[in-house]
Amino acid sequence: MNRFEKGLDVFSEYMDDGWEKPKNGQMEDPLDSVAPDFRRWIIEAYGEIYGRPHLDKKERALIVIASLVTQGAHTQLATHIKRGLNAGLTKEQLAECIIQCLPYNGFPRVQQALVILKQVIEE
């Protein structure tokens, strides 16, 4: 199994129930026209990083969410909040994770992250 195939296996564990692993290993990405290797790098990273032992899905989700809040990466935050919910985190745990970023990131970033959490929960 190559890095991409391993990554697809791990990636598929984190996706919503409706997601199907591509049969031919090919995935389309909206960024293919400007960065054709970008999707492959993401998938390979899932295999290499998310496939490591010692952390469960909930712990990984909390770490990723805190990191995205810190970066102000709002586009990715909604996706990872959904993955956290799929991993079994409660909305209270997700809110607390975001609130814990407050002293280090300030009110604007944390408030925006809480707005995104609210939107995801209400979907």
Confidence of residue 121 (pLDDT cuts 50, 70, 90): very high
HEC-encoded secondary structure of 15-64: CCCCCCCCCCCCCCCCCCCCCCCHHHHHHHHHHHHHCCCCCCHHHHHHHH
Report the pLDDT value the prediction gives residue 103, as an integer from 0 to 100: 97
The model's pLDDT over 90-110, given as tens digits with 9 standing for 90+, comes to 999 999 999 999 999 999 999
The model's pLDDT over 48-70, given as tens digits with 9 standing for 90+, comes to 998 899 999 999 999 999 999 99
Report the candidate in 108, 93, 17 with the shortest Cα–Cα distance to residue 58. 93
Average pLDDT over residues 10-36: 70
Give the Cα separation of 82 and 59 in Å (integer). 14
Which residue ranges form the domains of the chain, and what is each CATH number?
3-50 (no CATH), 57-122 (1.20.1290.10)
Average pLDDT, the chain: 88
